[in-house]
Amino acid sequence: MSAPASAPTAAGPTRGTTEPPGPRDTRRPRRRRTDRTYYLMLVPALLLFTVFITGTGLVGMFYSLTNYAGFGDWKFVGLRNYTSMFSDPRILESYGFTLWFAVVTTIVVNAGALLLALGLNGRIKWKRALRGIYIIPMVISGIVIAYVFNFLFSHAVPQIAAQIGWAGGETSLLANENWAWVAIVIVTAWQATPSAVIIYLAGLLAIPKEVYEAAELDGAGPWRRFRSVTLPLLIGYVVINTILGFKNFLNAYDIIVGLTNGGPGTSTMSVAMTIFTGFAGGEYAFQMANAVVFFLFTVTVSLLQLLLVRNREVRV
């Protein structure tokens, strides 16, 4: 006689039965409260930026639509300052010089920085000491560097040229209307190269040594290793240095002031110098229009460079 089936116990349902689903939790998740410390750090900086950067920029844009001279009364003139700007030879010449200077200096700085980075990354003695020495120009004020080189170009170099019989060097390079820009490029590159060297050194140190070992096993010489291994792996760093350098050189001011002050004549007047000298010369509204156009030009160049980086999928 078979035993009767056992009844379900209170401990739980028997196997094979399903437990009815419980009520769903329809409560919204509690939002995490932001610590007040973040607001105490963010709000003052945001207010200062708005008042002193954004606010002053909007005020300047408004005055660019007037005939304000920097003092006294003013009258609304619309876009007259903008239309007059494009027919002013001083403005056009300053834009031409600034673009030429930025392009040439960017090329010189990147070429020199890459060579120095390759040398400092090689097997040389006193590598760390040399790295520290090459960083010194970056931490010195640009105006101080400009005055030092002004003395060298105006006095030391002509005296040395006279002693060795070099007639072409007895005249200061800064006094030559056709070649004064070369001195500005030399001094600017001397100061800007260390920052580019740091970026290139970071890129070189990130390249695995196994890649070079494999290239050596394949019989690649130094030039072939540089062309086929080093340069392709450094292309992202080259693009970053080009973008940063070009934007900085567009705003060239202090070194030009210390070397040539825009001379001889107006041959080395950058856009920034033209704007600042105009502010002091009663052309506040006119040069403010120039500043607005220069701002839009710089933003356009930056966006084009960022588009180039995104298309090439460059990441550092």
Domain residue ranges in the chain: 80-312
Q: Centre a 10 Å sphere on the Cβ of residue 104 and count the other Cβ atoms it contains.
A: 17
**Number of C-alpha atoms within 13 angstroms, CB side, residue 131?**
18
CA–CA distances in Å: residue 292 to residues 88, 295, 304: 16, 5, 18
Among 101, 148, 87, residue whose Cα is nearest residue 253: 101
Q: What contacts 148, CB < 8 A, 6 or more positions away?
A: none
The DSSP string of 105-147 is: HHHHHHHHHHHHHHHHTSS-TTHHHHHHHHHGGGGS-HHHHHH
Q: How far apart are CA 6 and CA 65, in angstroms?
A: 96
pLDDT tens for each residue of the chain, 316 residues long? 444 554 444 444 455 555 555 556 566 666 677 778 888 888 999 999 998 988 989 999 999 999 998 888 889 998 999 999 988 999 999 999 999 999 999 999 999 999 999 988 877 777 777 777 777 888 888 899 999 999 999 999 899 988 888 887 888 889 988 899 999 999 999 999 999 999 999 999 898 888 888 888 888 888 888 888 888 889 889 988 998 899 899 999 999 999 999 989 889 999 999 999 988 888 999 999 999 999 999 989 888 887 877 765 555 4
Contact between 135 and 198 (Cβ < 8 Å): yes
Enter the pTM of the model: 0.80
Has domain 80-312 been given CATH number 3.30.9.100? no
